[in-house]
């Protein structure tokens, strides 16, 4: 096992890509601060697993990272992990599938808050810590639909397009301070976000992917980890992993 005293904050960590990221960073010896909005039981099971398997130092926090007051509380938790932060993984997000004309304003505001405002609030809170340490890394979890747009997922696509632009702009702003900002744009990863598809829809989608299968959360986590800790000259990039789908 690699050893490091570094700390990572992962939002939306209870399931899917976030959960796989927590396992990967724990395996590397990171201290972890893990967030979820509603999946409290799953997150506590994950904390117990990480503590048992990797002897990880791990704290959990329940709340909405689209809410400014909660994010302030979340970052206060870092003091219990030594008061430092080395990596921020902005993974929290939701998808709303349906015709754009049928979307309500409440649904629009909810997906903007969950997917885009959360990255703004957490990144804004992380930057002063990174500046005080002289380094830091932000990895934003994006989607191929942020590049191409998806029918019946217009709002989701808009949030991921915003994530991509935020990544590029913030990377330019922070590069002189040795703070890197990158994004991982994923295609079809086999997580609960895709479980609304019928068996026929899943098979049809799989047949569209040249690699011939869905990606796994573990593969996604490996890319996120690599972007977070390696390649000191790599910043401002949207790295796509989609099995040549797009």
Helix locations, 1-135, DSSP H: 16-27, 40-54, 68-76, 105-112, 118-133
Q: Give the CA count within 13 Å in the CB-facing half-sphere of 22.
A: 34
For residue 117, give the DSSP letter. Answer: I
Task: State the Cα angle at 62 between 225 and 58, rounded to 5°.
Answer: 50
Is 3 annotated as catalytic? no
Which is the catalytic residue, given 70, 156, 214, 225? Answer: 156
DSSP 195-242: TTS-HHHHHHHHHHSTTSSPBPHHHHHHHHHHHHHS-TT--S-EEEES
Sheet of 7-10: strands edge to edge? Answer: 58-62, 31-36, 7-10, 87-90, 136-143, 179-186, 238-241
Encoded tokens for 56: 């990880």
User: Across-strand partners of 74?
Assistant: none
Contact 218, 27 (CB under 8 A): no
Q: Is the dihedral of CA 73, 229, 236, 244 positive or negative?
A: negative
> The tokens 């994004």 sit on which residue?
183
Q: Which residues are catalytic?
A: 156
């Amino acid at each position: 096992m690699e050893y490091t005293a570094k700390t990572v904050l992962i939002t939306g960590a209870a399931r899917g890509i976030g959960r796989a990221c927590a396992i990967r960073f724990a395996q590397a010896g990171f201290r972890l601060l893990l967030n979820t909005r509603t999946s409290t039981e799953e997150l506590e099971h994950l904390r117990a697993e990480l503590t048992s398997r990797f002897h990880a130092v791990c704290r959990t926090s329940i709340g909405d990272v689209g809410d400014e007051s909660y994010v302030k509380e979340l970052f206060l938790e870092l003091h219990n992990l030594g008061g430092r932060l080395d990596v921020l993984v902005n993974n929290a997000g939701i998808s709303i599938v349906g015709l754009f004309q049928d979307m309500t304003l409440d649904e629009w505001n909810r997906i903007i808050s969950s997917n885009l405002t959360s990255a703004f609030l957490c990144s804004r809170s992380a930057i002063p810590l990174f500046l005080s340490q002289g380094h830091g890394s932000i990895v934003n979890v994006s989607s191929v639909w942020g590049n191409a747009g998806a029918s019946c997922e217009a709002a989701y696509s808009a949030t991921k397009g915003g994530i991509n632009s935020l990544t590029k702009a913030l990377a330019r702003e922070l590069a002189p301070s040795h703070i890197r900002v990158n994004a991982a744009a994923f295609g079809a990863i086999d997580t609960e976000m895709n479980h609304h598809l019928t068996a026929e829809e899943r098979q049809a989608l799989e047949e569209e992917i040249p690699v011939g299968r869905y990606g796994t959360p573990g593969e996604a986590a490996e890319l996120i980890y690599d972007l977070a800790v390696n390649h000191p000259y790599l910043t401002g990039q949207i790295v796509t992993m989609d099995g040549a789908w797009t």
